[in-house]
Chains A and B, each alone.
Chain A
Amino acid sequence: METLLLAESTAESLKGVINALCEPAPFFIISCIALIVFLVGYRTFTRPAVALTIGAAFTLFYIISAFDPNFAAIIKKPDNVPITIMMFSVGFCTWVAFRQAAINDERMERGEPLIEAGSDDKVLVWPDLVYTELIALTLCTAVLIVWAILLRAPLEQPADPSVAPNPAKAPWYFLGLQELLVYFDPWIAGVLLPGLIIVGLIALPYIDRNPRGNGYYTFKERPFVISTFMFGWVILWVVLIVFGTFLRGPNWNFFGPYEFWDLHRLAALLNVNVADIFWVRWMGRGLPDDWMLRELPGVFLMGGYFFILPVLLAFTVLRKIYRQVGLIRYAIAVMLLLWMALVPIKMLARWTLDMHYFLAVTEYFFNI
């Protein structure tokens, strides 16, 4: 009896620790560190034994977590099941890719042929490819049918414009964008940033002029582009979806994965703008009435970020890239990168400094 109580209280305190680690700032920073550690040590972490251990540990953690009623309530929602599937398949596919990259990179160092080598050997489409496709098609059909029999598609109460659910969530694949709404105005979170994602993806082949790593898995030959892409994809897309699914509850408040979604919890909102910090805190006076004067610090900050920083970078850290791609490509690439970097910067500023807007021309809905 006593040991049972002891076990229960340890479990509870463990849950408390995990809930605390899942606060936005720690969760985000831990994810970033995990990604960096993975990319630095990709050769070690993708070894089958190591990867299997990590995968098994995560699966075990996930299964044990499912015994918690609050966590179970989230993952059992039918429309959240795809998110579980996505997390595991993203993990698995990332492993498959980086494992082959590690092998290829080692082989290139030793001057051996790549996994993909022998590309001139051809096989006939009938039967080799057609049969593979047939098998894939059959398996996929079977999986879909079994999935459809086991899990019913959700159908909630009929639509009612007068009863808003709390929280009201976008479809799961847009939850990352919805999370951005916390930190940015809708025109940035909902229009500009998605637009930039699309533009950035389309621009990628025209910006990335590195001719190597075309048609085979490698990390060593294109570390910068791959790291940037993985940061955008894993952290800013997948992790934010996880935020939105597991950690956002009523009133879009943050809740730990094992916390009860309390409708009445109030979150303190003490957000400040750069203008407040500059004029009130540092200058010790009230905000100027004229918005142009008021926002001068913000204009300097954002102007420096978007217009002076690129020039500095071109002469220092990104010098090689600037030389390689030329002025126009560099300008486009650096703008995309700076917008991408602004997302985590703003998030961290919000969590640590309660930052609301760097630049707040509320008069014209123009706030960053």
Chain B
Amino acid sequence: MGSYLPLVIVLAAGGVGTVVLVLFGGAILTWVREGQVWNSVFRHGIPRDRRTRAMAVLSNVFLHLHPVAVRKSGIRLSFTWCMGGLTFFLFLAEVVTGVLLMFYYRPVVEYAYVDIQNMRAKVISMGLMREIHRWGAHAMVISIWLHMLRVFLTGSYKPPREFNWTVGVILLVLTLLLSFTGYLLPWDQLAMWAITVGSNMARATPLLGHEGPLASFLKIDGVPLVHAGSDARFGLLAGTFVGPNALLRFYVLHCVFFPVIVSVLIAVHFWRIRKDGGISGPL
């Protein structure tokens, strides 16, 4: 009996709690909403009428991304497909799951692969987080493409939204780079060779890659400036091959550098949507 005691207590407490909520829920809610704590956080009444609904959006830093009222045509699902919003949400999901993964992952060749294995073997929920993180990344690549497609097909890049389109293109590049740098981190065969194939291209950068055109012209006293140990790929990988330095470099780019820039640019992107007159529509 003793070992069941906690269970009984929990169930009893839950039961009593439910009854109390059902009987006095409304009264408790009103009491909370009239109290000092609630009113210090939310400075408006319950969003029931025009004024309080407007206040709900205006006085919340996150909802304040939106204007108070939007054009009807702009929020139709068949117009935006909600693709920009979906991309944003997937980015948030990646940040949350990514931070959790960072607790269990060490970007060192000796540990990286084993850490990923252990996530699944030892911490089941972490295995699931890794799955969500990976599929979410793929989904974000697809959704950002589709978002761009819809912005293009509705002609929403035309004045006055040219600059926001530019911001978007940079976000697109950064999203692909985020995905690419993350691809290396599991440190398995798939990761290493995909990054090898991808980063080999940098070898051929004109002027800056040691197998690129014009690079052989850069010489001082006949000593080539651009060689395998100094070219663009070396800068990317911190080495001449995908090794420990590349892993660390990609980790920092993936977990800190790109996410921060993307966050800032998303803020600019959203700000500009409002400044450019909201979601586009026929004039």
Contact = CB atoms under 8 A, between A and B. Distances in A.
B139 A156 contact: no
Contacts of B189: 156-160, 163, 165
A205 interface: yes
B188 A187 contact: no
Interface in A144-158: 144-145, 147-149, 151-158
Nearest to A140: B89
A126 B66 CA distance: 10
Given A97-B153, A214-B283, A233-B149, A144 B142 contact: no
Given A187-B206, A215-B280, A217-B154, A173 B194 contact: no
Which of A100, A114, A205 has the most chain B CB atoms inside 10 A of its CB? A205
B63 A126 contact: yes
Interface string A123-165: 1111111101100110011001101110111111111110111
A190 B201 contact: yes
Nearest to A361: B213
Interface string A160-187: 1101110011111110011000000111
Nearest to B65: A125
Contacts of B193: 164-165, 168-169
B46 to A, nearest CB: 11
A145 B132 contact: yes
A187 B212 contact: yes
B141 interface: yes
Contact of A144 (B70, B136, B204): B136
B174 to A, nearest CB: 11
A204 B242 CA distance: 36
B246 to A, nearest CB: 11
Interface in A66-86: 79, 81-82, 85-86
B273 interface: no
Interface stretch (A50-58, A88-96, A328-336, A348-356): A88-96
25 contacts: A85-B138, A85-B139, A89-B146, A115-B73, A119-B71, A119-B282, A123-B75, A124-B53, A126-B63, A129-B66, A140-B86, A148-B135, A153-B130, A156-B188, A157-B188, A158-B188, A159-B188, A159-B189, A159-B191, A161-B192, A168-B193, A174-B198, A201-B172, A205-B159, A364-B216
Given A205-B158, A365-B212, A365-B215, 7 more contacts: A93-B149, A155-B120, A161-B241, A168-B193, A186-B212, A204-B157, A205-B162
Interface of B: 47, 50, 53-54, 56-57, 63, 66-79, 81-82, 85-86, 89-90, 93, 109, 113, 116-117, 120, 128, 130-136, 138-139, 141-142, 145-146, 149-150, 152-159, 161-162, 165-166, 169, 172-173, 176, 179-180, 183, 186-194, 196-198, 200-206, 209, 211-216, 241-243, 280-283
Q: Which 7 A-B pairs give the minimum distances between C-beta atoms?
A: A190-B201, A186-B204, A148-B131, A205-B162, A215-B280, A119-B281, A159-B192
Interface of A: 79, 81-82, 85-86, 89-90, 93-94, 96-98, 100-101, 114-130, 132-133, 136-137, 140-141, 144-145, 147-149, 151-161, 163-165, 168-174, 177-178, 185-187, 189-192, 198, 201-202, 204-206, 208, 210-218, 222, 226, 229, 233, 364-366
